[in-house]
Structure 1
Amino acid sequence: MNGDRTMTGLGLRLLAVMMLTFMGALIKLAEGRGAKLPELMLFRQLFAIPVVVSWVALGSGLATLRTQRLGAHATRAALGLTGMAFTFGALLLLPLAEATAISFTVPIFATILSALVLKEPTGWHRWAAVAIGFAGVLIVTQPGSGHIPVFGALVGLTSALMISIIAIQLRQLGRTENAGTTVFWFSVLSCIPLGIAYPLFAVTHDAATWALLIGIGVVGGMGQIAFTAALRFAPVSVVMPMDYSGLIWATLFGWLLFGALPDGWTFIGAPVIVASGLYIFWRERRLGLRASPVIAADEETDAARRRPASGDRST
């Protein structure tokens, strides 16, 4: 029975990675048809709301959407919107596979922030893994070679850093809020500033572009739910390595939809980054330490399921 549950968790995680990578491809397609970044962000959140509400209604119940921490959710929305802008920006500025490879630096930034902010013990093993991971980034980006835009690489790295910062804040929010509540309020609250700004960027679209914009929200919401459901059947330590399958999907979608294949350096540097992240996670698990707060790609779920570490501080 436990084996069946674990396989279900792995399958859901793989499905989620595929869907969220596909969402990234839809974002690039929509941008190519004239959609602007604020539009992409708005419709990612807006059209995900019905998906999330349906999931909550079938699970914990709509009553769980009530909250006494609206201010904390507003802070989460502000951080989340900033992180989303950098994440979507990286997707628009970089080839899909390269943007995905750079996103794998999240565990590296998590280690740095865990040491600096949460004061978690960090030995030379993990600092060495951080150094190796950044060496992998240099291999992928090839600074100065013109292989990929330097600005795009910096946007991608900032995205990974923001995800790490957001996850630390979510660890505090997760003390009282479950995953569904956090995801719901993030979507709803972020739609307010995006909706206000929308008239400044709104343009007319054809039916195909609108289908892409709706698909971004629906596929993104479903992918988020699959990430969450995976952790009901298997622990983070088991499903986390599945996140790296995103590079396979990014390469496939990049080839099929955009006729682009990763540079050979990406195939060399990406495994270095992946190995660094896996070693960090393995080392923490082996020492019996709390996993880094952003090892799971679905930070909402991870935050809701954990108790804060003893070094956590109120935000």
Structure 2
Amino acid sequence: MLAIALRLAAMVMLSTMFMLVKLAGEAGVSLPELVFWRQAMAVPIILGWLAATGNLGLLRTRRMSSHAMRATSGTAGLCCNIGAATLLPLPVGTTLGFTTPLFAVIITALVLREKVGPWRWTAVLLGFVGVLVIAQPGGAPVPALGLAAGLGAGLIVAVVSFQIRDLSRTEAPIACVFWFAFYGSLFAAILLPLYGTAHGTYEWLLLVAIGLAGTLAQFLITSALRLGQVATVVVMDYTALIWATLYGWTIWGHVPSAAMWLGAPIIVAAGLIITSREHFLARRVSPTSAIDESVTEEAAQGT
């Protein structure tokens, strides 16, 4: 029960972070700045916490290149997550993030050449039907760039999940979180001279709050995974849609469309089918389990 409570709290913090991201984007903060400060804020917080608890040794690694590669793809996923949050209504962006298990199944079958049965293939098809319903082709479609960002986030987080699965064999979870934030902030810093602008007190408060909310969500997710079964706590991720809808309605007056009410449950149902099948079939770490761990570092997720 404690693990579930921690996971629920993590979803509140992630939804809050994306709400703050959307507000900051509307206030004129560029995407590279959002990515940089989201990552950079986590570095001193994690270092301070590890120093205070005497656990700095957990950051030692012999796989620095693997961390850098994981940060490269993870930062791309974070860009997509933030892009979806700024371009789309929050419930739509959140729902598109739920496509990660669908892409994980496709990668498992086509790239890793593992057997995928009819249950999971059916779930994949069902999930993308839900995406089509939300996209409303031929009707009043969602912005194409926002749709691409949302689906891109789902795909990249699925790719990152397999990188995390590999790293988790030798690295402490907090090390994966820290080096992702460290390298991610370095990558984003390259673009700051081109996109960075002066900000007022309001914008800086938003940026600080984004960093704090994202880092707290990471710690809550890590704690939940330490105390509970992945297949149990991962189901709680779908509660993020409740908070995204609440924020969207109260702050921006976004009322979910009929297409959203129909498409979102279809995507959620597809993800639940995949999660239950992975839990039933696999005794080893499954793609769904790795996806869940990857959310520790992702903002969409994401991520």
Q: Normalised by the shorter chain, which TM-score bucket?
A: over 0.9
Distance 1:51 1:144, change over 3 A: farther
Which of 295, 299, 305 matches 2:294?
Answer: 299
Moved more, 94-103 or 141-150: 141-150
Residue of structure 2 in register with 1:250 after alignment: 244
Secondary structure of the residue aligned to 1:165 is helix
Secondary structure of the residue aligned to 1:170 is helix
Q: Deviation string for 1:114-159 (max 9, x for gaps)?
A: 1122222201111011101110111112123223112211221111
Which of 133, 152, 155 matches 1:158?
Answer: 152
Q: Identity across aligned pairs (percent)?
A: 43
Q: Is contact 1:51-1:222 (8 Å) kept?
A: no
Query: In the alignment, residue 271 of structure 1 is paired with which amino acid?
Result: P
Moved more, 196-205 or 269-278: 196-205
Alpha-carbon RMSD across the aligned residues, in angstroms, is 1.7
* Deviation of 1:246 (Å): 0.6
Which of 90, 94, 98 matches 1:96?
Answer: 90
Q: Is contact 1:19-1:219 (8 Å) kept?
A: yes
Secondary structure of the residue aligned to 2:139 is coil
Secondary structure of the residue aligned to 1:97 is helix
| Whole-Å separation in 2 of the counterparts to 1:208 and 1:157 | 31
Q: Deviation string for 1:225-284 (max 9, x for gaps)?
A: 100100121110110110000110000011122121211211111111111110111122
Query: In the alignment, residue 140 of structure 1 is paired with which amino acid?
Result: I
Q: Deviation string for 1:81-101 (max 9, x for gaps)?
A: 111111111111111000011
| Whole-Å separation in 2 of the counterparts to 1:116 and 1:237 | 24
1:241 paired with 2:243, answer no
Q: Which runs of 4+ in 1 moved over 6 A?
A: none
| Whole-Å separation in 2 of the counterparts to 1:167 and 1:211 | 32
Query: In the alignment, residue 299 of structure 1 is paired with which amino acid?
Result: S
Aligned length: 296
1:44 paired with 2:34, answer no
Query: In the alignment, residue 80 of structure 1 is paired with which amino acid?
Result: G
Residue of structure 2 in register with 1:4 after alignment: none
Residue of structure 2 in register with 1:26 after alignment: 20
Show the 5 A alignment for 1:1-315: 7-57=1-51, 61-290=55-284, 292-295=286-289, 296-299=291-294
| Whole-Å separation in 1 of the counterparts to 2:285 and 2:67 | 24
* Deviation of 1:33 (Å): 0.6
| Whole-Å separation in 1 of the counterparts to 2:154 and 2:38 | 19
Residue of structure 2 in register with 1:308 after alignment: none
Q: TM-score if structure 1 supplies the norm length?
A: 0.89
Secondary structure of the residue aligned to 2:138 is coil
Query: In the alignment, residue 79 of structure 2 is paired with which amino acid?
Result: A
| Whole-Å separation in 2 of the counterparts to 1:119 and 1:301 | 27
Distance 1:115 1:278, change over 3 A: same
| Whole-Å separation in 2 of the counterparts to 1:184 and 1:227 | 14
| Whole-Å separation in 2 of the counterparts to 1:143 and 1:56 | 49
| Whole-Å separation in 1 of the counterparts to 2:101 and 2:22 | 25
Q: Deviation string for 1:160-186 (max 9, x for gaps)?
A: 000001111121122211111111111
Gaps of 5+ in 1: 1-6, 303-315
Secondary structure of the residue aligned to 2:149 is helix
Query: In the alignment, residue 26 of structure 2 is paired with which amino acid?
Result: G
Distance 1:300 1:240, change over 3 A: closer
| Whole-Å separation in 2 of the counterparts to 1:216 and 1:84 | 13
